[in-house]
Chain A
């Protein structure tokens, strides 16, 4: 590597073009193997182990002992590539595996994820990224410490960062577990730990530098893997391989089929309940979720720290635009994926005789993601059939077909009868999405522990070598704990991820925005903003999720509260709001707390205001108020 090192940044275009070509060639090669009769299981192994091997190789080549490279990739990542890396960092198992599934079932309601997970970048671009880049430190808690008077604010920001990122990373490992379990044919718990190895190989040695260049590689794989099956489906169903334009036809066909099935709530109808009537509650939930996801986007440290790696403020701004463009490519395809998948199921699965169902039904059924619940004892074969009574007529009716949200993307190629090579490709893409996000999150957590807690608060004299060793050890430990939690609990990916967004939004957004845009805000404002916003958010999350009946009894003064049986618990919905958007309570509370604390306490010092002036302008040095003390 040493010989190429000097030329690596200069040759980025050539290196990644070669890499993309090789990957496409490899996919075609696997297709040929399938054609020659190599068993599916081997094809799945090849896809998973070869891509893992490539990530590990990049991680190894990019190993580093430099602090600047370990934490911020040497601040040498051009806007375009940082955009791709952010895209991979951003698009997790929830985007790749979960989102189209939620669109499949939720129709218009699922579009809250599509909107919420893109629009937040506008906030990142106009409110934060350029100023955080100018500030030019290593972590998001660094900003809280510099802006709000030191270690109290830093420690609080670390608490929010770790809670949100840990919740998020558990969801990613569940995603990795689902894919490895299905395609390597091993138990889910074990699969979580196999996936973990992949994560550690990429990030342990090279920190941010290794993660950045692996994420670029992972973005290329995940976008190819997401687009190919939809393009093929579009060509198959409509004759034209541009799914993003052609799925309008699929929507029309779905609507016609819904009428024959007697479904009252049309797929594309906005803000309706199960009977198809207009529902204001559905509308408020839709907007609440969008707000939480967008504000969360602009608060999640693993994303914000990506903009610390660009060479300049200008490139940080450009890089946000590139990030959103690369993310957009997947997000505007997801509704097409969902529509074509739904059409396939409606046309070719429903109404089939049970005896002649294809092999994918049992292979996905055995890991509890698909159920064909016609017979009285179907629940013995399909875990998903628990509580479903089929009519036993030997035909699969719509009400007897069960599909898990997280299986829609992964299983659709098989459902549509596409060659298995496409299934393997999708699995590799899902794995890339989950691993790349897990890398970024684990790095954010490990950096907060090693840089913010250990170096800044416990031992400011620690030398570089010691700091990096500690960071690596912590990275490994956090990953192990996360894999253990994921393997034993498992959970709905989309819910875990959405909660992480709400936590970050309630805890960090107000402090970041007002820290840059409201000079008067003093130390007290920053500290109280986090305590009130994050505290309230966590209180409502835990109370509504785990103590629903108590909420209904004790908080009835708040207004309308009802109990919904979901995820095996009695969950409380306050004002009809699903706790997936629990940030809706914490975000305004954080702003209110900051405004009150900011006005009653004394304004920020002259040095602090000078510091804020210096990060608002791209040129010139940062006049850090902390250093003046």
Chain B
């Protein structure tokens, strides 16, 4: 592998973007892991196709969100890597 060609300021800019992406996804993770489930008893009063909504969110809704977050991270980070020319394939 070739030596990384980033200057110090480029390295800082790259890492700020990467960290920004991480924090946004971390916030989304927090919402779907914890925050929405605080209201599960209230959401359970709504029923869709027989599912109480609070139950559905913990059994399926949040899971779909997690998969999408991982795909989002992979795609967005890849874009950042290309922007700085530091992708490894």
Contacts and interface: CB of A to CB of B under 8 A. Distances in A.
Contacts of A290: 33-34
Q: How large is the interface on A (under 10, 10 to 19, 20 to 34, 35 or more residues)?
A: 35 or more
Contact of B1 (A247, A268, A283, A619): A619
A328 B47 CA distance: 23
Interface string A596-629: 0000000000000000011011111100000000
A118 B66 contact: yes
Nearest to A245: B49
Given A268-B44, A268-B55, A320-B70, A617 B6 contact: yes
Q: How large is the interface on B (under 10, 10 to 19, 20 to 34, 35 or more residues)?
A: 35 or more
Interface in A219-262: 244-245, 247-252
Interface stretch (A3-11, A39-47, A306-314, A360-368): A306-314
Given A613-B11, A621-B1, A335 B67 contact: no
A198 to B, nearest CB: 31
Contact of A126 (B25, B41, B63, B71): B25
Given A122-B70, A328-B67, A619-B1, A268 B62 contact: no
Interface string A376-393: 000000000000000000
B46 interface: no
B69 A122 contact: yes
A234 to B, nearest CB: 13
A325 interface: yes
A328 B59 CA distance: 11
Determine the main DSSP class of A at the interface with B. helix
A407 interface: no
Interface string B1-38: 11111100001001100110110011001001110011
Given A251-B50, A315-B89, A244 B60 contact: yes
Contact of A108 (B15, B40, B49): B40
B67 A325 contact: yes
Interface in A266-308: 268-272, 278, 283, 286-287, 290-291, 294
A188 B7 CA distance: 63
Contact of A251 (B51, B63, B70): B51
B87 to A, nearest CB: 6
B74 A620 contact: no
A552 interface: no
A293 to B, nearest CB: 10
Contact of A324 (B18, B41, B66): B66
A619 B66 contact: no
A248 B4 contact: no
Interface string A307-338: 00001111101101100110010011001000
12 contacts: A111-B58, A251-B50, A269-B41, A314-B78, A314-B81, A317-B77, A320-B74, A324-B66, A328-B67, A331-B63, A332-B63, A620-B1
Given A123-B29, A314-B89, A325-B67, 9 more contacts: A119-B32, A125-B70, A269-B44, A321-B71, A324-B66, A328-B63, A328-B67, A618-B81, A620-B4
Interface of B: 1-6, 11, 14-15, 18-19, 21-22, 25-26, 29, 32-34, 37-38, 40-41, 44, 47-52, 54-56, 58-60, 62-64, 66-67, 69-71, 73-74, 77-78, 81, 85-89
Interface of A: 108, 111, 114-115, 118-119, 121-123, 125-127, 130, 134, 244-245, 247-252, 268-272, 278, 283, 286-287, 290-291, 294, 311-315, 317-318, 320-321, 324-325, 328, 331-332, 335, 517, 613-614, 616-621
